[in-house]
Structure 1
Amino acid sequence: MDFRTAIYKYCNYQERCHQDVRNKLYDLGARKDQVETLIADLIGDNLLNEERYARAFVRGKFRLKKWGRKKILQELKLHKISEYCVKKGMSEIDANEYDSVLNQLCVKKWRELNRETNEFNKKGKVYRYLLQKGYEQDLISDAINQLLESGS
């Protein structure tokens, strides 16, 4: 099998991290020496760049899926992205935009729970939802308190 053609197509389709490429090559049946050679070739041809991957990953997960920093960080670590690239990627999140998205999600979830009459339960459900999305506990509490103060 021509691993080179297959992996070049795989990397041309979208940004990939080293671990994804390594896993794909092993799935295709490549040996360890072939895997490392192909990864070096991909890096040399600028088809594989972990910093670029981390930046694209963070932008996508934050802007499209509305994930919080904690969930994004956890996913990057699962992909074995270096600390340096993680920091570069996380710098793609603007603090003001982050707060705005968190507040929007908080308001949206609060309104979805309009049948819930017990405010304590409602706060708990919104809190857990935002926690599951990867937002920080203190920021979630602030967003819920701000929502309650505004009377939405």
Structure 2
Amino acid sequence: MDNPKTNKITDEKVALAKAENYCAYQERSQQEVRNKLYEWGLWEAAVENIIILLIEGRFLNEERFAKAYAQGKFKQKGWGKIKIKQGLKLKKVPDVLIKKALLTISGDDYLKTLERLLEKKDKTITEKDTRKRQYKLQQYAFSRGYESDLVLDVLRKGVD
């Protein structure tokens, strides 16, 4: 039973029902669904047909996905806009929808989250040299996907 070929789906109706459940569980990008359909063994014509039916049935909505992804990664993981944008690009979300999704993040919340992240990180850094300490905080914020000018502004104002 471990043979991956045994769980291939050849019936388009069965695949559509399974894809609807897959999309209903959480927001998905078209590319995630497309990959899953190919994984199930469907051919290109069937995959594209099912994608269209999922969009028509409102199971799949790229803009809704992009906004949910941006909000989720920001609120749960504290990601910055650069990292969120990269994640959406990897999921082949169109640039216009990425821009719309990033606009859903409030500027005040964004700044507060960055400040909170830096304060929390600052407490874990044992480095005594101020410049090295600032550098470590800066690198940490960059790795989380925050814009350099914003990070530098927050660090200039000081992390207490």
Query: Under a length normalisation based on structure 1, what TM-score does the superposition of the two structures give?
Result: 0.93
The Cα of 1:54 is off from its aligned counterpart by 0.5
**Stretch moving more, 76-85 or 16-25:** 76-85
- Tell me, yes or no, if structure 1 residue 35 matches structure 2 residue 47: yes
Aligned residues, how many?
A: 148
Shift of 1:116: 1.5
With structure 2 as the length reference, what TM-score do the two structures score?
0.89
Is 1:125 paired with 2:139? no
Partner of 1:71: 83
Of 48-57 and 88-97, the range deviating more from structure 2: 88-97
Question: Which residue does the alignment assign to 1:23?
Answer: 35
Match of 1:135 among 103, 121, 146: 146
Q: Counterpart of 1:147 in structure 2: which amino acid?
A: G
**TM-aligned CA deviation for residue 5 of structure 1:** 2.2
Structure 1: give runs of 5+ residues left out of the alignment.
none
Contact 1:107 1:147 in 2 (8 A): no
Query: What is the Cα deviation at residue 4 of structure 1?
Result: 1.6
Q: Tell me by how many angstroms 1:84 deviates.
A: 2.0
Alpha-carbon distance in 1 for matches of 2:55, 2:90: 21
RMSD value, Cα: 1.0
Which consecutive aligned stretches of 4+ in structure 1 deviate over 2 angstroms post-superposition?
Answer: none
CA distance in 2, matches of 1:43, 1:88: 19
